[in-house]
Each structure stands twice: as C-alpha cells, then as structure tokens.
A and B are shown apart, each in its own frame.
Chain A
Amino acid sequence: MENGKENGQREVGGDKVKRGLAQMLKGGVIMDVVTPEQAMIAEEAGAVAVMALERVPADIRAHGGVARMSDPGLIREIMGSVTIPVMAKVRIGHFVEAQILEAIGVDYIDESEVLTPADEEHHINKHEFKIPFVCGCRNLGEALRRIGEGAAMIRTKGEAGTGDVVEAVRHARTVLGEIRRLQAMPDEELMTFAKSIGAPYSLVKETKELGRLPVVNFAAGGIATPADAALMMQIGVDGVFVGSGIFKSGDPASRGKAIVEATTHFRNADILAKVSENLGEPMVGRTAASLSEAEQLAVRGW
C-alpha cells in the first residue's frame, strides 16, 4: 500500500482514518468494561466504544502492584461480544504491548497512565502503527507532545478511579484555556510559547490556526454522574470516557444509559434532571485531594 491510493487502491493506516475514527466517537461515551457481559451492557446503554480491561482503575488502585496490558484472550472475547469499537490499554512506552494489541486488531490503543509506566522518559512512537492511539494529557504542552508522537486522539487525564471530577475539570480547563491564550498571541510569540510548554512549534501554530487541538479531545478520570459528563461537555470537550463510574455503581445499565443521554443533551437542563433521577448508588468515591503523591496517576507521562 506504500504506493498510495492511485487507481482505486486502498491506503490503510493514514492520519485521516486514524483521526477520523475519533471524530466518529464525538458526542459519545466510552465505557471501561472487564467482561464480555459488561461490554454488552455498555453497548445496550449506548456507548460508542468500550475500553477492554482486566481491572477498572478503582480496582487497580485498591489492588496495587504492577498494572499491565490485559490478557489478549479477554480482549478478544470482548471484541467478539459487541459491534462497537473496542479499545485497550498499554503501559506508557511499552511498544511491544502495542504491537500485540495491533496484532489482535483492537480498534484503538490507549497509552495510559492508569497502567504502570514501562518507560519513565519516552512514550511510544505512535506513527509506526496502523492502529490509532489515544493518550492522556494535563495541559496543552503534553497534548501536543503526544500528537507529535502520533496520537490520533487526546483525552484529558483527570484522576482515574476516584469518582472525583475535580482533576478532569482542572485538566480540561487548562488545555482549553491555554488554547484561548494562544489564539490571542501574535505569531512572533509562538516559538517562545512552544519552547515554554515543550511542544512542537508546527503543532502550536496549527492549534492557533484551528482554535482547537488538531485531534479530537475527550475528558476522562473521575466522571461518575450524568451531570459530570454534561459539565465536561459544556466546558468544551468532544466526548467522555467513564472508567470506574459505571460498573462500580449500583445500577450500571441505568447509569450508563443516563450518562449517554446527558452527553448528547448536555445543554438541556430539563433532560439532565430527568435522566439523573433514580440511578441508585454512584460509585463510592475518593477525593483526589486525599491521594498521596505516589497514588496520583495523572503525573505519569513526560
């Protein structure tokens, strides 16, 4: 396929199709699932994709130890159980885990701070893969470094497995606020700005011109209610990841469906009120502020 798309040839793995799948997920909810049964509940609730995992972040926190890529057998089973896209996580910098996920054909790879990093200095060179990657960020510089490495989708990190939305808000506001500042900047200041945030100049320039990140940007980490999802949408993200918030709650099917509806009708308070009723117990949360430095996942990433 190196010859391009002359004469009706198909070109796979280009940036347009990698970024394009994320564009199709916009306005949607991506849900963490640990079994094929949960994946089917998520699909039935209206998820646009599922993240196949062995343990949701809340359990990774509780169990401790080294968190790695999930068993490919489990991921395959989940892929076989639903028709929506299936994502799976690899450790930061662990390009062999990514090769394995590409080999089994997952639809998106999340190079995730929720797993224990395999490399404390380098992320994966994501340009080398035909499968698109999503990566976490806390600020614009981190987002643009990941895009520079080939990420086709960005999610603000939040603090996974807490059920506390405060870090998701902080990170989304930081990224979007920096973009607004960038747009007001004269061009001669861009290089110094790029240097100060540690981002590639060309991507800083492109972001200024677009007035948004060059790829789709979801929110993640701590979203547990329909109101949380709508909050992130109104702040200005393109969609939401819900990790522990659904399957660690009392009634995952109802809560999942309510979060999906809240993400679509995020500006309609009447609908938000209606879908927020009678959802049962939310996940038992833990305030992000109570985490020790060693327990914070969002600081992983370079």
Chain B
Amino acid sequence: MKIGVLALQGAFVEHRKKLEKLGVEVVEVRLPRDLEGLDGLIIPGGESTTIGKLATEYGLIEPLTAFARNKPVWGTCAGMIFMARDIGVRQPLLGLMDITVQRNAFGRQVDSFETELDIEGLNGGGPFPAIFIRAPRIADVDEEDVQVLARLEDGSAVAARQGHWLVTSFHPELSDDDRLHRYFISLINDQK
C-alpha cells in the first residue's frame, strides 16, 4: 500500500512517521506527478491559505479532485478546510465534502486545547486524545451523505466521513494514538 501526504506546507512529516510505523510506504506530494500510483492521500495540518495558494499555483487542484473521486482522502485541520465545499470566505478549496467549515472556530492560539474525544467507528481503546490547534469546526453538514463521527461536548462536529473521505478538526498525527491512521488504512482496503 502506498499513501501520499500532501507536502506543500505543514505537519506532513508527522503523518509520514505514523504511517511508516504502520508499515505503509509514504510518498510526499508536491506536484501533480507525485500522485501516480497512490492508494490514498492525507492532507495535513498547516496554514490552509498557504496550502491552497501553493496547490493552485502548482496546478494541483484539478489532479487532486480527480484523484479523490476514487481514492480515499483524509484531511486534518487545514486539510479538512481544504476538502470542504464551503468555508464562508474566498480561498482555494477542493470542495469535495458536503460540509461547511468555520476556520479558527475556537479562537486564537491561546484557546487551542487538548481533550478526550469519543469517535464513532474506532473499535475499542476508549476516547481519543485529540489536539486542537487554532482549529476549525464543521458548522453544517449535508446529513444525507455525511456522517458525523465525533462532537465536542458543546455539540461542535469535529470529525466526519463521506464515503471514502475523512476529515478531522484535530491532529491525530500529534498524539501517540494511531487508531485513526489505522481507520484510514481500512478505508483504503475497503476501496480496493
């Protein structure tokens, strides 16, 4: 299995390390040609404005959208913003998932937090240690097609799945728990 990590900017090395520990071959994706032969793609956390601009400048928007049609894609934090259909402001997006995302929904860095989160679809192991950094939240979903996998105690949706696409507001690549990476690998296996 070969998984790509979009490596324009952000915490791509952390995803890479997590996947390699699980025995997956990882490819850093910076240009459209890097997508060849991949079984899935992770779009990491970082600055969504920077990632969007670089993706546009280097002709990645179309190839990424085409790739995502049949292949699993997981966006964490900035990656979730990038995969959303609507974020309320103008910024380059892939517009894959039928969700509306609010950027910096919990405030600035001083409000960044860690919490324990129950996530649907993770088999056992208790709540997930979730790290939210200037994090976005899912403000609205198309409930027909999108399944919300986790909510904070205030009701904010922070993880969701639509078919073979996965998004999380938080950063599983920063915690010591690999269950979401394994979950994503299982999405790829289901798709094959």
Contact = CB atoms under 8 A, between A and B. Distances in A.
B77 A24 contact: yes
A265 B53 CA distance: 14
A261 B9 contact: no
A21 B115 contact: no
Contact of A261 (B57, B116, B127): B57
- For chain A, the bracket of interface size reads 35 or more
Contacts of B133: 17, 20-21, 24
B contact residues, range: 35 or more
Given A24-B10, A48-B46, A17 B114 contact: yes
A268 B31 CA distance: 11
Contacts of A48: 9, 46-47, 50
A11 B115 contact: yes
Interface string A259-270: 011011100100
A12 B113 contact: yes
23 contacts: A5-B116, A6-B116, A8-B117, A8-B153, A9-B115, A10-B114, A11-B115, A17-B112, A20-B131, A23-B174, A24-B134, A25-B46, A27-B10, A46-B53, A48-B47, A83-B49, A84-B50, A102-B110, A106-B109, A130-B110, A261-B57, A264-B7, A264-B30
Interface string B111-127: 11111110000000001
Interface string B38-65: 0000000111011001100100000000
A47 B109 contact: no
Contacts of A47: 50
Interface of B: 7-14, 30, 45-47, 49-50, 53-54, 57, 77-78, 89, 103-104, 107-117, 127, 131-134, 152-153, 171, 174-175
B44 to A, nearest CB: 9
Interface of A: 5-14, 16-17, 20-21, 23-28, 43, 46-49, 79, 83-85, 102, 105-108, 130-132, 260-261, 263-265, 268
Given A8-B117, A21-B134, A16 B47 contact: no
A48 B50 CA distance: 6
Nearest to A13: B110
Contacts of B131: 16-17, 20
Nearest to B7: A27
Give the residue among A26, A130, A261, A268 with the most B Cβ atoms within 10 A.
A26
B50 A24 contact: no
A272 B133 CA distance: 32
Contacts of B8: 27, 264
A244 to B, nearest CB: 21
B174 A10 contact: no
B26 to A, nearest CB: 16
Contacts of B77: 24
B109 A21 contact: yes
A78 to B, nearest CB: 13
A84 B47 contact: yes
Nearest to B116: A5
Interface centre among B9, B108, B117, B175 (most CB of A within 10 A): B9
A269 to B, nearest CB: 14
Nearest to B54: A264
A108 B113 CA distance: 15
